[in-house]
């Protein structure tokens, strides 16, 4: 007799997901699936809207990384208004946007690590959910909790200064940006009272990396082996191979580190990337066309980025990167829990980038917008906190959007998350007669490593609201566990 277990977060509408685990008579996991609701609605309802509205409208599909959507849409529209494919903006336009983006990356990575991941690490993944949450962290390690809150705040202030608002701003417009940084803002970001200044943010970022490395040393088995599996990796890299989160060419490496997508122009992404539909999930499964549906899937996000790039163009993060690379002897890193390590190295890199940008006089004066000959189609890609984000628009002669296609980071990680859940389920559930809290959370921990939007949405206050349903072969409910 085969049983079906469904783990279903039930409190949120957007980005909610559920996990179904199929087990056989012996209690062995046969297969598992992660279902996530897609964002299809937005692609439909931007149709007919004037193109310049897209960056402001589309960012509403996410409350956690709206800046990524805001900027990816703006980048696609840069192409449409004839401002080049990523390198045609004025120095001020490009640098203000980069500052916004690194501020976003910084606050998102900080939020994810301190609020969502640290409870699992500090208390263990099978600890009582009543203490395994950010409030528990605040009680036991107040210093860490304060760091998390203040780093997030710093990033959000950067976003406010560049986009106009902390959430859902209007800063990036087709062809550039609509504001400058003021001298007062710059000075306070550089030299604000402790801890709200960039040097503190850099040193805290370093502390975070060290904290994780320390944890890793003591929990090698878990961190290295939990949901570890080989895959391809895909991300943007700068033309010279450097890590670049805002702009670059598309690169993919296989599980051995061989380049299989050779730094191509993302305007042609449709020649390289396909999306498969499976009847049990609303979310599509992207894959590289050349390698087909079976082998062409890939990981995106911090781990994939550090596997794809050749170096990091800021000194402190580069040092950490070298250590990270050395750990797998220069080969791609396939350990799901190492996403956290990679994410914190990016946190450090983002802080260093912000510092570099804040010292740049172009933020204080210069032309904001540039335009050229209008065309009717544009693609904008960037590396969002959770991975490569694709925006693609077509417009008609009246400036109305006629087509929008978005491949969001979480969609790119669809197959890897499914594989990770499968690994976690097998590792923690095989041969067990009952479903323990720790086992349920193991599945969550695997998903959370990929930082999908749904994990933020449902884990903000400690635990994903879960429902486990055990269903027998005749679809009868055998057991239902809810927490």
* Binding positions for other proteins, rule: CB under 8 A: 48, 50, 52-53, 55-57, 60, 81, 163-165, 168-171, 173-174, 178-179, 369, 398-400
Q: Which helix (H) or strand (E) holds 404?
A: strand 401-407
Nearest residue (CB) to other proteins, 63 versus 124: 63
Nearest residue (CB) to other proteins, 121 versus 163: 163
Tokens linked to 213: 């490395």
Q: Cβ 51 to other proteins, closest distance in Å?
A: 8
Q: Cβ 236 to other proteins, closest distance in Å?
A: 26
Q: Cβ 24 to other proteins, closest distance in Å?
A: 49
Q: Cβ 142 to other proteins, closest distance in Å?
A: 34
Helices (H), 14-131: 40-45, 54-58, 66-80, 91-110, 118-123
Q: Cβ 177 to other proteins, closest distance in Å?
A: 9
d(CA 75, CA 95): 13
Nearest residue (CB) to other proteins, 52 versus 114: 52
d(CA 249, CA 236): 5
Q: Cβ 178 to other proteins, closest distance in Å?
A: 5
Nearest residue (CB) to other proteins, 78 versus 120: 78
Q: Cβ 397 to other proteins, closest distance in Å?
A: 9
Tokens linked to 432: 């067990």
Tokens linked to 59: 């960012």
Nearest residue (CB) to other proteins, 206 versus 395: 395
Residue identified by tokens 């916004």 is 100
Tokens linked to 111: 């939020």
Residues 125, 464 contacting (CB under 8 angstroms): no
Residues 464, 471 contacting (CB under 8 angstroms): no
Q: Cβ 60 to other proteins, closest distance in Å?
A: 6
d(CA 402, CA 444): 38
Q: Which helix (H) or strand (E) holds 303?
A: helix 302-308
Residues 155, 99 contacting (CB under 8 angstroms): no
Nearest residue (CB) to other proteins, 164 versus 465: 164
Nearest residue (CB) to other proteins, 80 versus 435: 80
Nearest residue (CB) to other proteins, 70 versus 216: 70
Nearest residue (CB) to other proteins, 67 versus 81: 81
Nearest residue (CB) to other proteins, 173 versus 316: 173
Judging by beta carbons within 10 Å of its beta carbon (0-12, 13-18, 19+), is residue 397 exposed, middle or buried?
A: exposed
Q: Cβ 13 to other proteins, closest distance in Å?
A: 17
d(CA 3, CA 17): 20
Q: Cβ 439 to other proteins, closest distance in Å?
A: 41
228 φ, ψ (degrees, to nearest 5): -95, 130
DSSP state of 249: E
Q: What is the dihedral of CA 312, 216, 354, 371, to 10 degrees?
A: 60
d(CA 248, CA 305): 12
């Amino acid at each position: 007799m085969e049983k079906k277990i469904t783990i279903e977060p039930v409190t949120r509408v957007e980005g909610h997901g559920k996990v179904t685990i199929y087990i056989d008579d012996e209690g062995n996991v046969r297969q598992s699936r992660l279902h996530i609701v897609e964002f299809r609605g937005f692609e439909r309802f931007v149709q007919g809207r004037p193109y310049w509205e897209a960056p402001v409208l589309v960012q509403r599909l996410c409350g956690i990384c709206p800046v990524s959507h805001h900027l990816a849409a703006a980048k696609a529209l840069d192409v449409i208004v004839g401002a080049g494919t990523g390198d045609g903006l004025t120095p001020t336009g490009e640098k203000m946007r980069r500052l916004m983006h690194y501020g976003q990356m910084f606050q998102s990575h900080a939020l994810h690590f301190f609020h969502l991941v640290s409870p699992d690490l500090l208390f263990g993944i099978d600890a009582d959910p009543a203490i395994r949450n950010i409030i528990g962290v605040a009680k036991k390690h107040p210093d860490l909790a304060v760091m998390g809150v203040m780093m997030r705040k710093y990033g959000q202030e950067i976003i406010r200064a560049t986009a106009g608002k902390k959430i859902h701003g209007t800063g990036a417009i087709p062809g550039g940006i609509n504001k400058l940084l003021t001298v007062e803002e710059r000075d306070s970001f550089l030299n604000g009272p402790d801890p709200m200044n960039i040097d503190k943010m850099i040193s805290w970022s370093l502390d975070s990396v060290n904290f994780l490395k320390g944890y890793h040393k003591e929990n090698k088995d878990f961190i290295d082996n939990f949901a570890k599996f080989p895959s391809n990796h895909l991300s943007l890299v700068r033309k010279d191979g450097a890590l670049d989160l805002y702009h670059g060419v598309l690169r993919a490496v296989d599980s051995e580190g061989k380049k299989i997508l050779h730094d191509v122009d993302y305007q042609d992404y449709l020649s390289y990337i396909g999306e498969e539909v499976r009847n049990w999930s609303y979310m599509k499964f992207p894959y590289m066309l050349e390698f087909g549906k079976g082998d062409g899937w890939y990981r995106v996000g911090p781990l994939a980025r550090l596997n794809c790039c050749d170096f990091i163009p800021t000194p402190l993060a580069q040092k950490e990167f070298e250590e990270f690379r050395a750990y797998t002897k220069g080969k791609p890193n396939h350990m799901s829990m190492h996403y956290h390590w990679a994410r914190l190295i990016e946190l450090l890199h983002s802080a260093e980038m912000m510092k570099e940008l804040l010292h740049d006089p172009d933020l204080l004066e210069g032309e904001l917008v540039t335009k050229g000959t209008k065309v009717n189609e544009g693609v904008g890609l960037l590396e969002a906190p959770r991975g490569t984000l694709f925006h693609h628009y077509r417009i008609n002669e009246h400036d109305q959007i006629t087509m929008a296609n978005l491949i969001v980071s979480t969609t790119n990680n669809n197959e890897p998350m499914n594989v990770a859940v499968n690994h976690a389920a097998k590792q923690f559930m095989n041969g067990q007669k009952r479903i323990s809290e720790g086992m349920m959370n193991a599945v969550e921990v695997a998903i959370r490593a990929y930082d999908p939007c749904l994990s933020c949405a449902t884990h903000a206050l400690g635990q994903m609201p879960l429902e486990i349903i055990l269903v027998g072969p005749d679809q009868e409910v055998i057991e239902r566990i809810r927490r």
